[in-house]
Amino acid sequence: MSEPIVLGIESTCDETAAAVVQGRTLRSNVVASSMEEHARYGGVIPEIASRAHAEAFVPCVSKALADAGLELSDVDAIAVSAGPGLAGCLAVGVSGAKALAWASGKPLYGINHVIGHIAVTQLQFGPFPKDTLALIVSGGHTSLLHVGDVARHIDVVGTTLDDAAGECFDKVARLLGFPYPGGPHIDRHAQHGDPHAIRVPQGLTQGKAGAKHPYDFSFSGVKTAVARWVEGERAAGREIPVDDVCASLADSVATVLAKKAMRGCRQYDSDTLIVGGGFSANSQLRAKLLEFGRSNGVEVRIPELRLCTDNGAMVAMLGVNLVEAGVAPSAPDFAIDSAMPLTKVSM
């Protein structure tokens, strides 16, 4: 078979996105975000996001096909995020994708959005080597995965026990008075601060808890420690050194992620680490992972910034993998799964 052409559709949270991938070539990538509509509420409101998806679905898909110079009849398959994500948002994308597949007679794959974050790196770096480790860092997920076969077999090595890295950043950002989403604000301030100014604990790395959970992540205590320090300074009437707080937090979180990822690479004898998810856009994390990768002899593959956040390219790229592997399309009546397990690649 020649390089499959797949239309990918994404609607798990507040981005409506569509893209066309042919083989390992990105032919179009369209993203419409409803982020500004949620900012005033300090977080994503599912009802508002769902309505925005319904409005943006047809324009996004139409533009993705037009930018690729294709008609719907030219694609070999359609892929859509079926989970995990917000149920109402997933329903819009999956319903639309099912309608397109039914009307065009194309096979449809309901894919795991999180695994899409791994697959998208193939657009830049090519196929995965054997025994690849993947670090997923997004708003709601911090997970370490062993990729046996991205289309068929993925094992969870470690996962989030409480707050994910992105949630930790958003909660501290709110404490510091930054608007939602807080991650980019912390990133910018951290670049001007001293990462060692404040002692921030490194979650699940010490003592019995660290030994029991060598690959799991916990950032709730990190958030609490920073919050208590800030509250103590305010109670004493001292000005908060915002840049230093952000730098110390970012350094702690990035160090934990890099240490555990490298430990996982040693455990699985892997010399490649794939990084994916919106939080992988964080500059401190990118620098720390590359630094640890160099010192441990591990190639760290981090996607370019536009492919870190939710997009249709990641969905289409995973769809290409499924088509190439000969995986059967999803049943026409497949359901969305807002808590889709990371071991499940497609429905």
C-alpha radius of gyration, the chain, whole number:
20
Pick from 91, 102, 232: which is nearest to 175 by CA?
232
Torsion of CA 244, 245, 249, 252, to 10 degrees: 50
Pick from 307, 304, 281, 336: which is nearest to 31 by CA?
307
Query: How many whole angstroms separate alpha carbon 240 and alpha carbon 176?
Result: 9
Q: What share of the chain is helix, strand, coil (3-state, %, to 5)?
A: 45, 20, 35
- Contacts of 198 by beta carbon, 8 Å cutoff, 6+ apart: 226, 229, 244, 245, 248
Amino acid sitting at position 331: A
* 310 appears as a binding residue in the annotation: yes
* 136 appears as a binding residue in the annotation: yes
Strands (E), the chain: 5-10, 15-22, 25-33, 77-83, 108-112, 132-137, 142-149, 153-158, 272-276, 299-301
* 137 appears as a binding residue in the annotation: yes
* 240 appears as a binding residue in the annotation: no
Query: How many whole angstroms separate alpha carbon 84 and alpha carbon 159?
Result: 15
Q: Measured over all CA atoms, what is the biggest interatomic distance in the chain, rounded to whole angstroms?
A: 69
* 170 appears as a binding residue in the annotation: yes
* 14 appears as a binding residue in the annotation: no
* 278 appears as a binding residue in the annotation: no
* 114 appears as a binding residue in the annotation: no
User: Got the DSSP string for 124-184?
Assistant: HH-SPPSSEEEEEE-SS-EEEEEEEETTTEEEEEE-BSS--HHHHHHHHHHHTTPPSS-HH
* 139 appears as a binding residue in the annotation: yes
Query: How many whole angstroms separate alpha carbon 90 and alpha carbon 114?
Result: 13
- Contacts of 177 by beta carbon, 8 Å cutoff, 6+ apart: none
* 45 appears as a binding residue in the annotation: no
Instruction: List the binding residues.
Output: 113, 117, 136-140, 170, 183, 187, 282, 310
Instruction: List the binding residues for Fe cation.
Output: 113, 117, 310
Instruction: List the binding residues for substrate.
Output: 136-140, 170, 183, 187, 282
